[in-house]
Structure 1
Amino acid sequence: MLRRAAVLACLLLAALTGCTAAAPTPSGTAPAPAPTSSPSAAVVTKVLVIVVENHSLVQMTAQMPYTFGLATRFGYATRYTAIRHPSLPNYVALVGGQTYGITDDGGPSANEIRSGASVFGQAISAGKTAALYAEGMPGNCSLANGGDRYAVKHNPWAYFAAERSLCARYDLPIGGLDATIAAGTLPTVGMVVPNLCNDAHDCPLGTADTWIRGWMEKLFAGPDWASGHLAVLITADEDDDSPGNAVLTVVVHPSQTAHVVTTPLSHYSVTRLLEDVAGVPHLFGAASAPSLSAAFTLPIGASPQG
């Protein structure tokens, strides 16, 4: 218990000051199992971002043993912060480089982004691929809540009106993700959003941790991981309203080995990474955001065009 308390204290200090000590897996939990294959650290040409809900760095490290096991095996950031509260502005920031002035969780009818590009649209315009997989969503690019605990506020592509036709084709219910993983056809730029239980919004963090484990085991068994070209990021949209808005952000790629990054990063750093991998210009806040690929020394396969 004393060791665990010390670990969590260091993580809290890291979020505020940049403590550089690597935290071990929480006492009493098994580390994340090794992937079934051990690909060499190839160039990253695909990024899949998994987003959970409303928990702080300290909460996530203490209550998500599998996910934190991935963090300590591969890499994680100790000074990564969300943009603001509530949820929707953070999701929009992740894929749009800014919040577009959104301050609430209203649906697309209240918060429609009439002009502006997302990283998904950017990638497709550049000849790359993009997709968002939403658990519980009743149909492609659903603009309203429904289905199995689907919340449109967690589906940022649905808010970009100028890309609505692309959203209708590539913003998909999660049911097809298994086949995509098995075929090795994950997109250049991808995002996975669980439903309101599996993202820990309405259910415990342990539920989200188990859900992530199920998908990560499939990803580790797939061709994209075996090739070494796939990087998986796990983060949270925002914290629990604790000061600092610090969340756990994990980077899973063969180039990472127990890598603890203390560089200040944010959701705009993820925007920048997705754009760098797609080889497209940086949107708004992504242009000045600290580079996540540089912080983690991720080998990426494209350079931004401007």
Structure 2
Amino acid sequence: MKSKILVVGLPILLLALVLPPTSFFPIQTLTSNHAHVKVVGFRLTVLPVNRPFDYILIIVMENKNFSQINGSSSAPYLNQLASNYSLAMQYTACDHPSLPNYMCLTGGSNYFSGNDCSPVGYCTTSNSSIVDRVESAGLTWRAYMEDMPSPCYKSAAGNYTFLTNPFVFYTQIAGNSTRCAGHVIPANSGGTGLPDDNLVNALGSTSTASNYMWLTPNLCDNMHNCSIGRGDNYLSKLVPLILNSYIFKTQNAALFITFDEGYGRYPRDYVYTVWAGPAVKTRYQASIQHSHYSLPSTIEAAWGLQPLAAKDRGSPSMTEFFSLPPAPPPTSPPPLLIANFTFSPANPDAGVTVNFSGSARGGTQPYAYNWSFGDGDRGTGQTIAYVYLLVGNYTASLTVADASGQTTTASKGISIDADPRPAGTCQECTRTIFPRTPGLMISFAIGVALPLAGSIIVSRRRGKTLGTTRGVCHP
């Protein structure tokens, strides 16, 4: 006959997911500086712990060599910004004319090399861009175009041109009108230069700022059609608003300013490139060779994204420009998990309820308790009651699992007897009892009644002894 469980103790459902309390934000935001997880909808993204930034804003200027800006009296603000923060001394554009450089910055490859692709429909690529990687990781992005007449505008108008808007050349963006209109938007509501209020206002809250932000100034503010002084003056008014915004004051944010191309040839077409913001080293210059391919490489390294193409994969990232937050200290392993249990009664009969009680120490709470009774039956719970229906010797085992994944097992033997005796008795011992009725002596061990004079013979058999008397028990 199979033994059966009579009573089961309280089962434990173990589910351990430990997140910092600041990890959950509205869908537009990345986690705070010290959290490592972001929730977007129902998707959970784990970001690298020691990442250099949580927000990045990219501004691309036009058509100036490194030497035209570096030390120039026409660009005092850019030079002061580079002096206060970080300057890349050997950062090169990737191609000519303008458009392929924008594709290097956003796609990790110089698509449309040698071609400005006018009109826009003449050149498109179905390859992924960096914002596809950003979005697939559950992060957010938005591209701001100064003086663009309407969202996702694909023609030229006034000081706006599609040739400095790389996002409309990706079919995964431009081919989805809803996605494009929601992400590629005017930087300014007035459409005539500063203030770039749509961008600046977005930086006022984690609920409106995107993790990846891009700004293309109009053709005058970016120095393409106007002087270096005009573009530097534009930056001197805009950049302080950026650096003093809520995002750049309270979050781990970085500002990247570069030029699309100079007048040299890759890989020696050096352009003035500055990193600024709270996440960036101050008063730092790097002489390591970098290029436009290094920007997507840096973002990929920062946020754990897959490379877009061979060129960004093979380019060094620019993490040297950042004062990386210290890595969290190594966590010590949890204490060794130890399990134990007791049961009562100590010498149970078949058919009698046995009460098991488990305990654990060490490890990481909470604990899950799983029992094996040695006869094929199992149970769960810290306490449990069980009935053995068959006589025999069994090994009862308790396995405890903790929240860190440790498991340990404790086992004990348990004897189920049909005729158990108290400790110290011996088999087939006799105890002679003189009954109150004269003439009858009963021996329970041998099961017979011995008649005395004038008595009646009685024979009985008992299943249990009543005990022994020291000196009387004989084997």
Give the TM-score of the pair, scaled to structure 2: 0.52
Is 1:180 equivalent to 2:191 in the alignment? Answer: no
Is 1:111 equivalent to 2:120 in the alignment? Answer: no
What letter corresponds to residue 281 of structure 1 in structure 2? Q
Report the CA distance between 1:253 and its aligned residue. 2.6
> Does structure 1 conserve the Cα–Cα contact (< 8 Å) formed by 2:91 and 2:289?
yes
Is 1:288 equivalent to 2:314 in the alignment? Answer: yes
> Does structure 2 conserve the Cα–Cα contact (< 8 Å) formed by 1:276 and 1:300?
no
Structure 2 SS opposite 1:263: coil
Is 1:49 equivalent to 2:61 in the alignment? Answer: no
Report the CA distance between 1:143 and its aligned residue. 1.1
Bigger CA drift: 276-285 or 50-59? 276-285
Report the equivalent of 2:183.
170
Report the CA distance between 1:277 and its aligned residue. 3.3
Report the CA distance between 1:92 and its aligned residue. 0.7
Structure 1 SS opposite 2:204: helix
Mapping of 1:56-95 within 5 angstroms? 56-61=65-70, 62=72, 63-95=74-106
> Does structure 2 conserve the Cα–Cα contact (< 8 Å) formed by 1:272 and 1:286?
yes
Moved over 3 A (4+): 240-243
Is 1:271 equivalent to 2:304 in the alignment? Answer: no
Assess, with a 3 A threshold, how the Cα gap between structure 1 residues 287 and 71 changes in structure 2: closer, same or farther: same
Structure showing greater radius of gyration is 2
Report the CA distance between 1:108 and its aligned residue. 2.3
Assess, with a 3 A threshold, how the Cα gap between structure 1 residues 43 and 291 changes in structure 2: closer, same or farther: closer
Choose the corresponding residue for 1:261, options 279, 286, 296.
286
Structure 2: 5+ residue stretches without partners: 1-32, 34-50, 189-197, 327-475
CA RMSD of aligned residues (A): 2.3
Give the Cα–Cα distance (whole angstroms) in 2 for the partners of residues 87 and 298 of structure 1.
32
> Does structure 1 conserve the Cα–Cα contact (< 8 Å) formed by 2:155 and 2:161?
yes
Deviations 1:27-65 (A, max 9, x none): xxxxxxxxxxxx9xx951011110000001111121311
Give the Cα–Cα distance (whole angstroms) in 2 for the partners of residues 142 and 298 of structure 1.
38
> Does structure 1 conserve the Cα–Cα contact (< 8 Å) formed by 2:59 and 2:257?
yes
Is 1:189 equivalent to 2:215 in the alignment? Answer: no
Structure 2 SS opposite 1:183: coil
Higher relative contact order (CA 8 A, sep 6+): 1
Choose the corresponding residue for 2:223, options 190, 193, 200.
200
Is 1:124 equivalent to 2:135 in the alignment? Answer: yes
Give the Cα–Cα distance (whole angstroms) in 1 for the partners of residues 325 and 219 of structure 2.
32
> Does structure 1 conserve the Cα–Cα contact (< 8 Å) formed by 2:202 and 2:209?
yes
Count of residue pairs the alignment pairs up:
260
Report the CA distance between 1:208 and its aligned residue. 0.9
> Does structure 2 conserve the Cα–Cα contact (< 8 Å) formed by 1:277 and 1:300?
no
